[in-house]
Each structure stands twice: as C-alpha cells, then as structure tokens.
Amino acid sequence: MSQGKRSITGPLTFSIGGCIAGAPVFLFFFLLFNDRFAGADQGFYAFLLLALFMLFGGLFIASVGMQMILEDSQR
C-alpha cells in the first residue's frame, strides 16, 4: 500500500487561515490590556468590525485547508 503524493497546499492553507484568524484576536486583547481602547469611539467599532471579518475569513480559509488535507488523506 503506497501512499499517493500528498500536496503541501492543504497544510499551508490551514496554517495561513489560522494566522489570519488568530492575529486580530491577539491584537484586540493586546490593545485592550494596554488601555488603547479607553473610550467607545469610532475607532474601537471599526477595529472590532475588521477583527470579526478577519476572524471569520481566517476560519473559512482554515476550513478550506482542512478539507484539502482530508481529501489528500483519502487518496
């Protein structure tokens, strides 16, 4: 039973999606603990919206990478 040639694009896509999803979460808590968000102004809401878009986009990219890994493992 020989394994077929596996592609590296699945793990790379999964890791890039994880970085995109994780970066705004860590940055949000970093800015929160350093008192950068002192008041509820427009910048806070804009950053929160950007962070949520990046989080869901990164999770989508990571799920595509996971699907690629699963398809490669079934071959």
Residue 40 maps to a domain = yes
pTM: 0.77
Whether 34 is covered by a domain: the verdict is yes
- 10, part of any domain: no
2 in a structural domain:
no
What is the C-alpha to C-alpha distance for residues 51 and 35, in angstroms, rounded to an integer?
18
Q: Is residue 43 situated within a structural domain?
A: yes
Confirm if 58 and 19 have CB atoms less than 8 A apart.
yes
Round to whole Å and give the CA distance between 18 and 33.
23
Amino acid 39: pLDDT: 64
**Residue 14 belongs to a domain:** no
Asked if residue 5 belongs to a domain, the reply is no
Backbone region of residue 63 per phi and psi (left: phi > 0; alpha: psi in -120 to 50; beta: other values): alpha
Does any domain span residue 38? yes
DSSP E strands, 1-75: none
Query: Based on the structure, what is the number of domains in the chain?
Result: 1
- Give the domain extent around 31: 20-74
Per-10-residue mean pLDDT for the chain, 75 residues long?
A: 72 94 89 74 79 94 94 83
